[in-house]
Structures are given as C-alpha cells and as structure tokens.
Amino acid sequence: MSQPPSLRPAPPRPPSASRKAPLDAEASPRPPLPPVLRRIHWLWRLAFVGLVWAGGMLAVTWASGRLTVPVASPTPAASPPDDGSTAPLATSAAHADVPTFTPGPTPAAATVAPPTAPLPVGRVGLLVGHWQHDSGTVCADGLREVDVTTDVALRTRAILEARGLTVDLLPEHDPHVPQPPTQGYRAAALVAIHADTCEWPGLSGFKVARWRYSDMPAVDDRLVTCLEDAYAAATGLPRNDDTISVNMWNYYAFREIGVDTPAAIIELAFLLGDRAFVDAHRYEMALGVADGISCFLEGR
C-alpha cells in the first residue's frame, strides 16, 4: 500500500542559490528589470536617501538653534537708575543672580542691605582730651591738661543730658592704633575737647577746627561755626585761629570715627595765658561747648 502523496514527507531541500537571494525575491520572485529601469530605480532611491538626510540635518539645525539662541543672546539689561548711588548695588546683585537662575521674584531687593543706618539722633560724643591715656600739657605748678578737659567734659555732659541728649565720653588712645569706641563711632555730632599749651606766654584764646579731609566739609564747617560762636558768647574769649596746628585738622580720631559723623576739635584756652579764666570759669567753658552742639543739632 502506498500512502497518499499529501502525507509523504517532503524531500530535503537541496541547498541552492535561492537561499542567498533577497527575502522578497524569495517570497515573490519578480522578473529582472531592464538595465535602463534598474538605473532609474537606483537613482530614485539615491535621491530619496539624499532628501531624507537633508531633511534630518535641517531639523537638527533648527532644533539646536531654538535651544542656543536664548543663551547666546544678551539678556535685556535693566535701565540704569536715576540715582547713581544705587547703580553699584544693582550691578553686583545682577552678577550674584547669574549662577543660580532662581525662579520667581529676584531676591536682590531683599538681600541688599541699606547703605547706612541713620545717625543716632540725640546722641553726641565728647572725646575727652588725654583721658585714660596721658596727662597732656603740664604747667609748672602741676596743672594738667587732662584734668581741665575731663572737668569741662563732665560739665558739658551734664548740660546736654539736661537738654535730653545722650552723651558718650570717649577716651583718648594711641593715635597709631585705632580702637573702639572711637573706631567707627557714630553720633549726631562728636567734639574733641583739648586745652592749649602751658609753654607759650602771651597767647590767649580758643580755636576750633575740623578734619581737613572730611567727606562732608560743609556739615563739619557748620559744627565749627556753631562752636566758635557759642563758645565766644559763653566765655568772652577771643578766637586764636593763627595757632591751629596739623594736630588739630588731622586729628587721628577724625580718621577713625564713622565717615558720616560730624566732628570738630576745640582747644578751650591757653593754660598759661588764660590760666586765671580757666581756674574760675569752667562752667562757662562747658556751656559754650554745649551751646555749640545744640546750635548744630537744631540746625542753626
């Protein structure tokens, strides 16, 4: 008996050239194209690949351009403020924001400190010449400059405190070593109180000076004028501006205190030529200093 042909196992397929042929050709063999059509077909495929490549390059270029343009183009700069004093602050704040890219409102306004706090209204400083440092000039009979300046300063403080002011007594210190409380001291006014030499006979009077290199000479000049007028009125002593020295207009404390603190120095009298007055009129000397400070604080 023979089995139906459909149930017979198929004979093994011999290896043939069709194995190496393309799959589509094996699945649906087609007749070979004429040489001319094959060349046209090859050119069409080449053109298609070229179009696809060109389109891809254009897409990549467009996408990279979209990403890089905002970074490369400068960000619009803020217009400079009318007030020149705030320009450096705005510039530094903008630089500080660049690396962080903090979203939302810029923190610059909240982190930039105000330039300076307002001066302490109603607080004045009296730098007591030679106090806690040395004796100052010493007269033949033993009168020391520091005793005169301390006495006058204490009386001046009492007068100003009675007028509702707060008074700081600042000691003298080594002019070559800045130190608190003079260093960075801030007040509505500061007056250094000294008295003149006991070595020059025939000299009389007082004198007032400010720092020659002051940042606000007009303000300091008004303090000087107030002190000159008030002290002359209270004591009757003449001004002796001819003997104003470098130690006055370049007084070390002027360089140490806050740059916005009005300041002046007064030489109360000559301890030799004005000795009788100095012994008898300490209150008038203190009143003259206090009135000069009140004149300045009240804007007169």
Q: Give me the residues that bind Zn ion (CB under 5 A), please.
A: 129, 136, 194
Q: Name the closest residue to Zn ion (Cβ).
A: 194
Q: How far is the CB of 136 from Zn ion (least distance, A)?
A: 4
Please name the residues in contact with 287: beta carbons below 8 A apart, sequence gap of 6 or more. 155, 159, 234
Rg of the chain over Cα atoms, rounded to whole angstroms, equals: 47
Place of tokens 């939302």: 104
Residue nearer to Zn ion on the CB measure, 248 or 290: 248
Q: How far is the CB of 267 from Zn ion (least distance, A)?
A: 8
Residues in the chain: 300
User: Quick check: helix, strand or coil at residue 206?
Assistant: strand
What's the CA gap between 162 and 165, in Å, rounded? 7
Residue nearer to Zn ion on the CB measure, 286 or 297: 286
What phi, psi does 112 have (nearest 5°)? -75, 120
User: What DSSP state is assigned to residue 257?
Assistant: S
Q: How far is the CB of 265 from Zn ion (least distance, A)?
A: 9
Q: How far is the CB of 226 from Zn ion (least distance, A)?
A: 21
Residue nearer to Zn ion on the CB measure, 129 or 262: 129
Q: How far is the CB of 216 from Zn ion (least distance, A)?
A: 25
What's the CA gap between 178 and 183, in Å, rounded? 6
Residue nearer to Zn ion on the CB measure, 129 or 292: 129
- Taking the mean position of all CA atoms in its chain, how far away is CA 180? 21
Q: How far is the CB of 241 from Zn ion (least distance, A)?
A: 17
- For residue 102, the tally of other CB atoms under 10 A from its CB is 10
Residue nearer to Zn ion on the CB measure, 127 or 187: 127
Residue nearer to Zn ion on the CB measure, 197 or 225: 197
Residue nearer to Zn ion on the CB measure, 136 or 205: 136
Q: What does the block give as tokens for 131?
A: 């106090």
Q: What does the block give as tokens for 126?
A: 């009296």
What's the CA gap between 299 and 293, in Å, rounded? 10
Q: How far is the CB of 113 from Zn ion (least distance, A)?
A: 38
Cα three-residue angle 274-279-280, rounded to 5 degrees = 100
- For residue 78, the tally of other CB atoms under 10 A from its CB is 9
